[in-house]
Structure formats: C-alpha cells, structure tokens
Amino acid sequence: MRALDIAGTGMQAQQTNVETISNNIANMSTTGYKRSRAEFQDLIYQNIRRVGASSSDTGTTIPAGAQVGLGVKTAAIYRINDQGSLEQTSNSLDLAVQGRGYFQVQLPSGQLAYTRDGTFSMDNNGSLVTADGYLISPTITIPNNAQSISIDQSGQVSVQIAGQNNTTLVGQLQLGIFTNENGLAAMGQNLFTQTTASGDAMMGNPEAVGYGSIMQGYVENSNVNVVTEITDLITAQRAYEMNSKVITASDDMMKTVTNLGGN
C-alpha cells in the first residue's frame, strides 16, 4: 500500500521541519544568528494512466491522466539573512555590522572563516580576536599603552595613547560579502566558510558601496522571531500527527483485507 510509504516520507519531512525550528529557538539568544527555514519538494509520480496517451484508434487522447505522488523530500534548509536588531553593550570591542558583510577570521589551520558575531577581545599580544581566540583578518593590534579605542562606521580603528593629544590610527577593519550568502557552509561557533555555491569573499571597507557599516559598542541579536517559530512548530506538529493518522488508517485497511482473505 503506497499510502504507508507516502505518509512515512511526510513524517520524516516534518521531523526535519521541527528540528530546524527547534534549532532556531535554541539560538534565539545567539549573537548574529540567522534563522533557517526548511523547504520541501514532492517526489516522483507514478503514472497509472499517462496524460496525452492515445485512447482510441481514431486519434483521441487522454486529457488529464492519472498520476499518484510518492511523497515528499527535503529540498534545502535556507538561512533567512535579515538584519537582527542591534543591542547596545557599551563595550568598546563589541562590534555590529549594520547591513551586508561578515568579519573575516583566521582559523588555527590557516583557513579563513566569516562571522557576524562581533564580540571581540584582545589576546596577550593586543590583537583583536574572537571569543575562541581566533585572529581577526586583517590583523589589528592595539598598543599596550592605549587608553581608549575608537572604531568609526567605516572600520578605522584609532587609539588614544597616554601623553598624546591626537588619536593614532592602528588598523582598518574589512568586511566580506558574497554573491550567494545561502551558499556559505555553517561550521558552528558562529562561523561560516565559503563554498563554490557562495562564491569567493569580496573584501572591502565598511561603508563602501554594497557594504554595511560598523557600530561600535553594539552587538547584533539573533533574527529569530519567537512567535513565528512557535506558530510554525504547532503547524509542523499537526502535519506530523496527520501523517501518522494516514499510517494508522492504512494499517486498518490492510487489516480489513487480511480479515477478508482469512474468511
């Protein structure tokens, strides 16, 4: 009975849907997190009566035919890259990107990764690093006698040195943008790596054409909308239950046939 297999694919699809929603809810407080959405496709169809086939020797054809679908499959899980709200922290090393762009991070392996999480710190050399100690690229080092750090919207990093009246420029932050942001591969720790689908990172200064600006003393919150996620969760749960009802009904039908055969 095809209905058993069809309903089974429906339950698997809704399980994926619930897993995606639960990951969104789990990361509702994750800095820079972008919510995901599962997309589905119908499976191939079985032709019981092929549309357009000849129905007589006089040249008449079947106008509609009869096709039975064989279920559903997961096509993709997309990231929704809408801007999250900005939260003021008053920490001079907390940075948020307003608009397009990712901070570039150098991993210990030498590989480059990208993040929207701008909660930075300084290591023992005074270099700007992520919460895991990974260097920001290009590297920016703060002198140990700096009294204050100022980062403008265009990404210029300046410090106030003790005993000097004017600020000193010590570096320039850059942002990476991609042709297809959904093509980035998530690797956890708020980091992404580029892929063939995303295209190569196009690095540029903040506030250049097509690039966002830097907001010092702010972090970007997750763009997860809890009300939307709970609504989607209820819908997915109901869809899962309905598919399970189909399996129960199919089982009852098979029992009926079995009982008829026994009699």
**166-195 pLDDT per residue, tens:** 899 999 999 999 999 999 999 999 999 999
Give the other-Cβ count within 10 Å of 193's Cβ: 16
Residues of the chain with pLDDT under 50: none
pLDDT digits (tens, 9 = 90+) for 27-53: 999 999 999 999 999 998 888 778 877
Q: Are 4 and 237 in contact (CB under 8 A)?
A: no
Find how far residue 54's CA is from the centre of its chain.
49
Q: Token pair for residue 185?
A: 């591969």
Q: Token pair for residue 65?
A: 């035919």
Strand, helix or coil for residue 51: coil
pLDDT at residue 45, rounded to an integer: 85
pLDDT at residue 86, rounded to an integer: 96
Q: The pTM is what?
A: 0.87
Residue 114: name the closest of 20, 32, 222 by CA. Answer: 32
Place of tokens 């990093």: 157
